[in-house]
Amino acid sequence: MSTRLTLRVPSDYVLKRDVCSYGYFHLAPNTWDPARETLARVLDLSDGAATLIVAQPEDVPGAPLRVQVDRGLSRTAQGEAKRALSRMLRLEEEDLGAFHAVDPRWRASGRGRIFRSPTLFEDLVKTVTSCNVAWPSTRMMNRRLCEVINPAFPRPTQMARRRPATLRARCRVGYRDVRLVELAKLAAAGSIDDRWFEDPSNDDDAVYSALLELPGIGPYAASNMLQLLGRYSRLAMDSEAMRHGREVLGMEGTDTQVRRAIEQHYAQFGDHRFRSYWFELWTDHEKHKGPAWTWPVPA
């Protein structure tokens, strides 16, 4: 027996646009099907794993999502699945008006939501595995973590039990092995308090500082985690940002000079600067490769 769920979404929500808005839609255990325009995802629910396929059958903004589950779900599990999807799809970010008021370029297209993971821990691991490495390797690491530890993505307790050498040899995470296990141990021990990180009454600087304390998290990763936490006041400055500054914005000079120029350029967007930067970069990719929801699934 299977379960079918219906998910209400904000009136401007477009599944294909808002899922295919950040590279994590191509990282295991997420799978985007460009032909069917559906997101498949294995979730770890309290009564076991379940595979969900999310679609938006009516191709109009705000149309409800249909979620097909590969087995029957209890009421409790249905609630868990909905909460997980809500976090991934940013359904709780109802009002994009403040962002569009600061940067009206995205009002017509409705851009504003950036895809993420069902848990803070998964976002941390995905961010650490995206550091100091080319994108195909990030894809490999996440795929192997799912194949070796848990198809629905490793839970902190599962990863904390693994030896670093196992992660290195079987999941190809390289020198990140110790950092990932330490991160998992902290999460498993409850030392990474999701609610504190997500609490809007804590200011961005405090959250940023706390993120920097975590193993494997440096300035870039902490800034990226901020946006994944719905805090867009910092730019995540990596080589891609530098490339964007030079090639798209025409900035020149040393890395330090370009970095400062990028910071100055996006300061006009205030607390929304990451989104302004990100959608500029993302739409530039789409200008060359077509809409992200049509991109072929990488090998």
If the CB atoms of residues 117 and 224 are measured against DNA, the closer one turns out to be: 224
Angle between helices 120-128 and 219-228 (to 10 degrees): 150
- Taking CB under 7 A as the criterion, the residue among 110, 215, 230, 270 binding DNA is 215
Residue 137 structure tokens: 């390797």
Stretch of 89-97, 102-110, 131-139, 286-294 lying at the interface with DNA (CB under 7 A): 131-139
Measured distance CA(263)–CA(233) in Å, rounded:
11
CB of 34 vs DNA, minimal distance in Å: 21
Q: Minimum CB separation from DNA for residue 47, in Å?
A: 35
Closer Cβ to DNA, 175 or 196, answer by number:
175
Side-chain half-sphere exposure of 56, counting CA atoms within 13 A? 21
**Is 140 one of the binding residues for DNA (CB under 7 A)?**
yes
Q: Is 222 in the site for DNA (CB under 7 A)?
A: yes
Determine the interface stretch with DNA among 89-97, 129-137, 191-199, 281-289 (rule: CB under 7 A).
Answer: 129-137
Q: Using CB under 7 A, which of the segments 18-26, 150-158, 166-174, 186-194 binds DNA?
A: 166-174
Residue recorded with tokens 């080589």: 239
Q: What distances in angstroms separate CA 270 from CA 136, 174, 255, 273, one per listed residue? A: 33, 37, 23, 6
Contact between 221 and DNA (CB under 7 A)?
A: yes
Beta-carbon contacts of residue 48 (< 8 Å; ≥ 6 apart):
none
For position 168 contacting DNA by CB under 7 A, the verdict is yes
Structure tokens at 183: 């991160």
Given the structure tokens 């609610």, which residue do they identify?
Answer: 195
- Nearest to 77, CA basis, from 163, 177, 136, 5: 5
Min CB(135)–DNA separation in Å: 9
Query: Among residues 102 and 188, whose Cβ is nearest to DNA?
Result: 188
If binding is defined by CB under 7 A, does position 137 make contact with DNA?
A: yes
Closest CB 218 distance from DNA, rounded Å: 3
CA–CA dist 42, 142 (Å, integer): 13
Nearer to DNA, 63 or 212 (CB): 212
Asked whether position 158 contacts DNA by CB under 7 A, the answer is no
- Least CB distance to DNA at residue 101 (A): 30
Least distance in angstroms from the C-beta of 136 to DNA: 4
**Which CA distances in Å does 183 have to 25, 30, 128, 174?**
23, 22, 10, 15
Q: Which is nearer to DNA, 81 or 141 (CB)?
A: 141
Q: Enter the tokens of residue 174.
A: 């390289």
Binding test (CB under 7 A) with DNA, winner from 48, 57, 79, 174: 174
Residues 117 and 25 sit within 8 Å (Cβ to Cβ): no
Rg for the chain (alpha carbons), in Å? 19
Residue 93: closest CA among 187, 231, 213: 231
Answer for which of 22, 115, 121, 220 binds DNA (CB under 7 A) is 220
* SS3 call for 214: coil
Of 80-88, 148-156, 232-240, 260-268, the window that binds DNA (rule: CB under 7 A) is 232-240
Residue ranges binding DNA (CB under 7 A): 131-134, 136-137, 140, 168, 172, 174-175, 179, 212, 215-222, 238-240, 243, 256
